Amino acid sequence: MKRHLVSLALLMLLSACTGQGGADYRAYLTKKGVTEIAADEFSHCRGYGCRYIDSGLTLTKKDWEPIKTLFKKPADNAAEERTRIAQAIGLFEQKTGAITGTDQDIEGTYRQIGDFQHDCVDESVNTTIYLSLLEQQGLLQFHDVAAPTARLPVVALGLGPHQTAVIAEKDSGTRYAVDSWFHNNGQPAEIVALERWFFGWRPKTSHAPNHSPE
């Protein structure tokens, strides 16, 4: 019960700070120096905390085909759409990784160092960009894109701070972490209820340490 109340209070606080969907995520991206968010020209972060921003990226019609194919048949429900979103994030990473050199990125932050690696800030920003592209293409029926959010050590059971992209289910308002930091480049993202994620959730299959120090 106590944990539930803490979670509820935290969700209310974060909702007040970051909002849901709409222009909020764009304002966040702008603060990070990301101003290009369109299918024909978008940006990409790398090198830890968006230290480097690759601008003017674009995907070809061939690049888009497998992504759009995921959503060709309308999803029956929000849960099914989340599965497709997770897969789409992996495909976006494959396509942009080949362009930017971040196809060598591995899970976590410090398992491999370099300008073409991602920390959780890079991952959450890039994932939010990809979610925005899906939204702009009219491929999301059940979800809105929200601003990235973070979990703190005091809440995440003593674990380190960590950041994630976020989507909000339109009907219920339930928010979900869309976290690609736990896996190597090109793998489907993890999507989990934000309330669980806040308390230190991590996939059992990940070898990444359960924190990022940003």
Q: Tens digits of per-residue pLDDT, 103-158?
A: 999 987 666 677 999 999 999 999 999 999 999 999 999 999 999 999 876 444 44
| Any domain includes 44 | yes
| Any domain includes 176 | yes
As a whole number, the mean pLDDT across the chain is: 85
> 124 lies in which domain range?
2-198
| Any domain includes 94 | yes
pLDDT digits (tens, 9 = 90+) for 41-73: 999 999 999 999 999 999 999 999 999 999 999
How do 52-57 and 41-46 pair as beta strands? Answer: antiparallel
| Any domain includes 138 | yes
Interatomic CA distance for residues 138 and 116, integer angstroms: 31
pLDDT digits (tens, 9 = 90+) for 170-205: 999 999 999 999 999 999 999 999 999 998 898 987
| Any domain includes 205 | no
In the prediction, which pLDDT does 207 show? Answer: 53
In the prediction, which pLDDT does 204 show? Answer: 81
> Which pair of tokens denotes residue 52?
């480097």
Residue (of 177, 169, 178, 182) closest to 199 by Cα position: 177
> Which pair of tokens denotes residue 105?
């990125």
The model carries a pTM of 0.84
Residues whose CB is less than 8 angstroms from the CB of residue 61 and which lie 6 or more positions away in sequence, other chains included: none
| Any domain includes 160 | yes
| Any domain includes 194 | yes
The domain tally of the chain equals: 1
Interatomic CA distance for residues 144 and 169, integer angstroms: 6
In the prediction, which pLDDT does 20 show? Answer: 41
